[in-house]
A and B are shown apart, each in its own frame.
Chain A
Amino acid sequence: MSENLTIKRMSATPSAFIPLDALRSNAPVYSKLVDISRCIGCKGCEVACKEWNDLKVEPTANFGSYQSHQDLSSNTWLLMRFNEVEIDGNVQWLIKKDACLHCEEPGCLFACPAPGAIVQYTNGIVDFNQDNCIGCQYCVTGCPFDVPRFDSSTKKVSKCNMCIDRVDAGLEPACVKTCPTNAIAWGTKDDMLALADAKIETLRSRGYEQAAVYNPAGVGGTHMMYVVPYGDRLDDYQLPADPTASPAPMTGLRFLKRVGAYVFGLSIVGTLAHFLAFGQQTVDEER
């Protein structure tokens, strides 16, 4: 296995919450950077994604938008969402490259009960292993970006895997490779953050005062980041302003499970203690 594919977290194992990267820290950490101001809406990335990952074509119909499909699916891991918004009297496309953001703290992985069905590598890629998936869809619930999609025929969940086979071979993901305007950049996370800063500077000098990078802290940052020209309009981009990988009920559940294990064990010890103290209450049938 190459350095690119060292496991960092694995679902339903201790490493889900205590990442293994402390053991090896020299592997490169990658990120995509999607500069929405450079996107011309050609959907070449959608095609490249389908081709490289050999995903089935899904017939679609005109529904009054330039968008190709209405939603992601288990066969459509990437969808350019053409959000039409009126800004200063002009219609604008606040396009969102809707696909897995590869969270540093992946809510899907935290929620998954099947050991090894979701794996995060030290390079930042979060990948689903369908062999281990049990089809419970807890990952769909756990994802703050509504990305994983369940296939009701295979009973498995799938999503963008960041072209992990390409990355392993030292190549960029297919969507990055094909983008004709270089709207999607690929490199180490540090380089992409620096590139984002430079892009934001340029956008601000061109009058996009609110230009910002989308790398939300609530999920520990992401390995697909966006540069959004209108950073004050995250809602219009359909980007959650404050996503979290550990919503309160799930934190509560983790705590309760830990307490529950002790309580359950103690209850069995308790019946033994009761038995030793009081024994059986027998019925004297001879009397």
Chain B
Amino acid sequence: MKKLFVFLLIFIAAGAKAQLSGGFESNSSYYVDDSKIKLEQIEAQNRLRSNSYLRLDYKYKHFTTGIQLESYVPKALLNYSPNLKEAGLGSYYVNYKNDSIGLDITAGHFYEQFGSGLVLRTWEDRQLGIANSIAGGRVKYAPFKSVQITALYGKQRNGLGFDFTAGSVFGLNTEFELSTLFKARKISYGLGLSYVNRNEKTDFNALPPSTFLTSIRGNVKKGGFTADAEYAFKSKDALVEFGNVRPELQFDGSAYLLNIGYSRKGLGINTSFRRLENFAAYSQRNLSGNVFNEGFVNYIPSLTKQYDYSLGNIYVYPAQSNLSFEPDRNKAGEIGGQLDVIYQFKKNTPLGGKYGTNVSINFAQWHGLKGIYDAAQRKYEADLLGFSEKYYRELSLEVRKKWNPKLASVFTYLNQYYNTRFVEEAVGEVNANTVIVENTLKVGKANSIRWELQHQWADGGFKNWAASQLEFNLKSNWSFFAIDLYNYGNDNANKKIHYYNIGLAYKQGAARVQANYGRQRGGLICVGGVCRFVPESAGLNLGVNLVF
């Protein structure tokens, strides 16, 4: 804190030409019990809950300093980590950046990603309760335009700004834009190398404190073709079972990633292949597999399409990177891939019509790793290219069509297979078909109506759902909406619930206020393949945000 004051005082002394910017966000809920949905007794003591964030950045010449204040008073919203409590400094930093000498130095909290994030990513996602910035020091140096070197060291945030996980993290990353270096024309290629070391001392003599992750990756691009490949390795670390570190059982891990794409005007194709084996990394061992997403060092997104529609998010596949032993349910990772094709039918053709038609197709399929598993002995040997149980499969088709200057539609069809037994480590499996139609009608010059109709047929899990959303937008400032998700097919009569919501939002420039009343479906809220579990709830929600 004292250091922060000193920096601030320097800036005050420096005076003019400085600039302040910031943002404020607050989300509050008042939870109620209604005929179908009730808060759990232990949660019912705090019906009013609020998460608020105030970020302030102050820039003067090459220096920027900033803080983020966070408040979880009287209590954080339902099912955020218990480490997010009370109010105080969430993060703070001082940065010096001078592009003319290629230098960027940060002391305090920082966010960083090496390559695709397979070996290191720190980021903030308030909806998921993720804020795993590293507090310490980071230096980025670009000796030439085509080379970038990053070195960092620190402790990872877990809770507020002075709460850290037990381990420390050291990272070194280099990116080489080789084609720039060799002055290549019409082709571009590059290389990246990363090293990350997590150091956490334990009382176990058999367990070395350090575990490292390395990554080597390359990319090439010529004309419409792109390709990139990455191999990453994790050194031996103890198996963690239900939060218990097992120093006598140590396993290493690996990741292979390959992407190939082709695109030209009107056509885009991308394919991805990935194999993960025991590749989760945490800055504190016993956080392995924790439900609040705390202590992540690396980022392992599920490589499937991400949906904005509510019924597209009932069965969401999270990447399976952990190692776990259980008779008939051994898991060491995942293997699979996805394919995307996007095509535009031209204007004034039979399928294109007057305005053109856009079609997107996605296919994704993921399996467990085939191999020999011995759950009793905690031993396994996985094949490099072997597919065992199917964890997830999806096929989706999206068609966008503009009918006339006023009316546009989006049709989505989604076919899913979801292996609940392996993905959630529960029972059963689900085959689901979902159809979604969205229409937007422009009324007058600045008003519009948006209407969504969704239906899901499923043979397991929650069974059938129907959903609809109606939205009126007035003069681009006001929005009024009503949503209903109805789980009419649920086998349990008490769970045939209408999850309705009505609300309004007002926005003006950089300010936005939203209020809604209704029910929240329980389940996973997922952003970018990382999910947070929320229990179902009912109540009034108020959100405010402002940027300045």
A in complex with B: no
A contact set with B: CB distance below 8 Å: none
B contact set with A: CB distance below 8 Å: none
